[in-house]
Amino acid sequence: VVDYWKCDFKDVDVLMGTFTKSFAAAGGYIAGNKDLINHIRTTSHGTAYATSMSPPVVEQI
């Protein structure tokens, strides 16, 4: 979206994406300021049940 609308990354609060289509792998990412990421880590139910990527998946990325 940032590329499409020619926005500055500094104007976007949250960047997120998936690795499932681009790398034929599993997982994704969320990028933002430190306070936002810490909030997501401490309050998200998904982090309690999520696991790390397996070494072969990390190697693909």
Q: What is the pTM of this model?
A: 0.57
pLDDT digits (tens, 9 = 90+) for 11-22: 888 888 887 776
Q: Residue 35: what pLDDT?
A: 94
pLDDT digits (tens, 9 = 90+) for 27-53: 788 899 999 999 988 888 777 777 777
Domain parsing of the chain, residue ranges: 2-60
The 3-state secondary structure of the chain reads CHHHHCCCHHHCCEEEEECCCCCCCCCEEEEECHHHHHHHHHHCHHHHHCCCCCHHHHHHC
